[in-house]
């Protein structure tokens, strides 16, 4: 199995802290220490004769609104051939915490901002290939009176929005919740993360493998 990426093409990852993962720290630059760096290593290992350029413009704490505000500089002006977008868990968490204050992170606003990013991409670069990566939440708690239970339920709305946008814009899609839930049938969430969101090395490997599979030829 190989990716559909062509030799010397540019793949750009953009998103929040899960993508960022310390990429702005001197010791982790420029790809960070998370799934983006792990994907780069996987791709090099499996396709050594097909070098590609990989960039990371993830910023910790970002929401879909943040991506929209910096889209021109941090996505379009970098002229990627492929663009992988992973966003949504901060929108979900903030809206759940206080819907009135964080109304710009509602599912409806999330859809508007992310749709705007994708529309601008297609208008500026019609040949751009996109991979949309759903947000995820690793808790197995389904109770309606706990924060984790509520977050696990609400994040599904953001996941569905990403899936619908993938259909509308005819992009590739990675359903992260599905691949992590398969793993969590056999292991507790602590095997992957201490806060249900930020991944350890194993979690990063699972996500990177998912990206590789989503980009297969």
What does the block give as tokens for 179? Answer: 């691949």
To which H or E segment does residue 174 belong? strand 172-174
> Is-contact 107 157, C-beta < 8 A?
yes
Catalytic residue of the set 66, 145, 198, 217: 198
**Residue 93: partners with Cβ closer than 8 Å, 6 or more residues away:** 151
Q: Does residue 198 have an active-site annotation?
A: yes
Q: H-helix or E-strand containing 197?
A: none
Which among 17, 55, 121, 193 is annotated as catalytic?
Answer: 17
Q: How far, in Å, CA of 5 to CA of 20, rounded?
A: 22
17 is catalytic: yes
Measure the CA–CA gap between 143 and 134, rounded to whole angstroms: 22
Among residues 98, 181, 182, 195, which one is catalytic? Answer: 195
Active site residues: 17, 195, 198
């Amino acid at each position: 199995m190989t990716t559909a990426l062509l030799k010397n093409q540019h793949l750009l990852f953009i998103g929040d802290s899960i993508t960022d993962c310390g990429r702005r720290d001197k010791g982790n630059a420029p790809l960070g220490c998370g799934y983006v760096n792990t994907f780069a290593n996987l791709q090099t290992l499996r396709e050594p004769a097909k070098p590609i350029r990989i960039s990371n413009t993830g910023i910790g704490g970002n929401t879909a609104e943040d991506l929209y505000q910096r889209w021109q500089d941090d996505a379009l002006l970098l002229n990627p051939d492929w663009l992988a977008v992973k966003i949504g868990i901060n929108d979900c968490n903030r809206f759940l915490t206080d819907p009135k204050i964080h109304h710009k992170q509602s599912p409806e606003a999330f859809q508007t901002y992310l749709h705007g990013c994708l529309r601008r991409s297609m208008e500026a670069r019609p040949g751009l290939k996109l991979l949309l990566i759903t947000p995820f939440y690793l808790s197995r708690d389904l109770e309606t009176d706990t924060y984790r239970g509520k977050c696990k339920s609400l994040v599904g709305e953001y996941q569905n929005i990403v899936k619908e946008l993938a259909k509308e814009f005819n992009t590739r899609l990675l359903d992260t919740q599905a691949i992590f839930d398969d793993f969590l049938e056999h292991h507790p969430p602590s095997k992957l993360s201490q806060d249900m969101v930020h991944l350890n090395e194993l979690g990063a490997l699972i996500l990177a493998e998912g990206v590789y599979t989503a980009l297969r030829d």
